[in-house]
Amino acid sequence: MNTNTSICHLDIVLDEVVLKGILGLPDPARGLVLFSHGSGSSRLSSRNNYVASVLQEEGIATLLFDLLTEEEDMNYQTRFDIPLLTERLIAVTHWCRKYEPTLNLRIAYFGASTGAASALGAAAHFGGEIAAVVSRGGRPDMALDIIDGVSSPTLFLVGGLDGVVIGLNQKAHDQLTAEKKIEIIPGASHLFGEPGKLEQVAAMSASWFKKHF
C-alpha cells in the first residue's frame, strides 16, 4: 500500500480555457490515470475520488479535472457534446506531457457514464500511446464510430442491474478489436451505490491499470 501521496489543486491552462483539476501523485508513481467524468459531474465526484484514492494507494497517479468551465457546464447540451469533451481530454493529455511532475508518466483513462465515450475517442486519437482504458457504467455506444481506432486495452465495468447499458457495453466490447474485457458486477446499479460495489470497481480498475502500465 502506498501512503506517500501529494494532493495538488491545479489550474490547467489550455489555449482557450482554464480547467480546474486535482492531481494525486504517489512517490513513486507507476503511471497516471486521467478521469473523464459523466455529464453533470465534475472533479469533485465522490465516486471518482474514491476510485482515485484506491489507485493512489497502488502507486498510480490520478488527475480529476473539469472537462468544462462553469459557464459551459450551465449549457445542458454542452454536457453531451462528445466531440468537445474528447478534444478537452486530448488537450489535457498533451498538457500532462509538458507538466514537470507528470511528463514522464505513461497515461491511461478512466471514463464514467458519458465520459467513457470521450475516453475512447481520445484513446483512438493517440493510438497505442494510451496504456489502458477503463469504462465504469459507461456509454461507449456513443463512440462506436471511432471504436475501431482504439488499440488500448479496455475494461468495461457494468452493473448487473443496469439494464439497457449492459447491452450497449456488450456491443462496444464486441466491436473493439484491441485487448478487451467486460465485467458484469452482480447486484450493482448504474452508479454502483450498493454496499461494496464501488469497492469492486476500484479494485478491478487498479488491477487493470497495474497490468498495463
CATH number at residue 60: 3.40.50.1820
Distance between first and last Cα of the chain: 17
**Total number of domains in the chain:** 1
Distance, in Å, from the CA atom of 194 to the CA atom of 18, rounded to the nearest integer, reads 35
Q: Is the pLDDT of residue 81 over 70?
A: yes
pTM of the model: 0.94
Distance, in Å, from the CA atom of 43 to the CA atom of 24, rounded to the nearest integer, reads 12
Residue 80's pLDDT is 66
Helices (H), 36-163: 46-57, 70-73, 82-96, 115-126
- Mean of the pLDDT values across residues 136-145? 88
Residue 149's pLDDT is 96
For residue 62, give the nearest of 73, 75, 51 by alpha carbon. Answer: 51
- Mean of the pLDDT values across residues 90-112? 96
In the structure, what pLDDT confidence band is assigned to residue 138 with cuts at 50, 70 and 90? Answer: confident
The residue range of the domain holding 117 is: 5-212
